[in-house]
Amino acid sequence: MRYISALLLGISHAVAYKSATNPITISTAAANSKAVPPDWARIQCTDGGILPTPTYGDSGSIFTACAQLVIDAPVEQVYNAIIDFGSYPKWNSFVPLVKPRDGAVLSDVRAGLPMTFHSAGLAPFGLNTTTDERVTVLDLPSYPRPASALVVWRFDPALGATLIQAEHPNILTHLHNGSTRYISYETYYSLGSVAVQLLEEAKLKKQFVQQGHDLKAYVERMSA
């Protein structure tokens, strides 16, 4: 049930970690100020390549699990489905349940929203795992037709462990035929992520791809 949490806890116990205060960064500037903030709409999955994230940039990254596909619906519709965390049980076989934390309300979507994801397909024996996450960026530009949009959350361990950091951008880009390019990836940082890579990389990649197909089916069914 708590395979990942136990793994992370075990690793973080092995090393002293910093205090639990973990300020939220919502700017799109990379944590490494020397890095040029990427043009999110140009990012695409690369085979084995590591992609930067808004909070952590590209320094200290260990690996990226990435999924990319085309959804035949407008950017706004895909965006709204992704931020509707309370509806994940309706479509998402990878994250079939999201719960709010700390008295937050899931429908009050904002940068800083604390959530617990219940995920399937990562642990052995069909066990589900839970991870604490926090929204870091919400960006749906409002003009007649958004060219691109960004929804990002990051791993937010309760104990403020710094040995594993991870952030998950969803980048939605308007294609000229009205469809949306969906890129969903998670980049893992810090030494503890080496263990996650060893144990989970292949499963994460598979589940991200599955999640993309689930989202595509759900959104296209709604917009049909």
Ligand X SMILES: *[C@@H]1O[C@H](CO)[C@@H](O)[C@H](O)[C@H]1NC(C)=O
Pick from 26, 35, 106, 120: which binds ligand X (CB under 6 A)? 120
DSSP 203: H
Q: In whole angstroms, how close is the CB of 59 to ligand X at the nearest point?
A: 33
Q: How far is CA 12 from CA 131, 159, 167, 168, 193, in A?
A: 14, 9, 18, 21, 11
What distance in Å separates the CA atoms of residue 182 and residue 140, rounded to the nearest whole number? 14
Residue 164 contacts residue 193 (beta carbons within 8 Å): yes
Binding residues for ligand X, rule CB under 6 A, total 11
Q: Which DSSP helix (H) or strand (E) runs through 58?
A: none
What distance in Å separates the CA atoms of residue 130 and residue 133, rounded to the nearest whole number? 10
Q: Which stretch binds ligand X (CB under 6 A): 11-19, 55-63, 122-130, 185-193?
A: 122-130
Does 177 sit near ligand X (CB under 6 A)?
yes
Which one, 60 or 96, has the nearer CB to ligand X? 96
* Helices 3-13, 193-223: crossing angle, 10 deg rounding: 150
Q: In whole angstroms, how close is the CB of 24 to ligand X at the nearest point?
A: 29
Does 116 sit near ligand X (CB under 6 A)?
no
Q: Which stretch binds ligand X (CB under 6 A): 78-86, 123-131, 160-168, 193-201?
A: 123-131
Residues 56-115 that bind ligand X (CB under 6 A): 70, 72, 96-97
* Chain residues in the site for ligand X (CB under 6 A): 70, 72, 96-97, 120, 126-128, 175, 177, 179
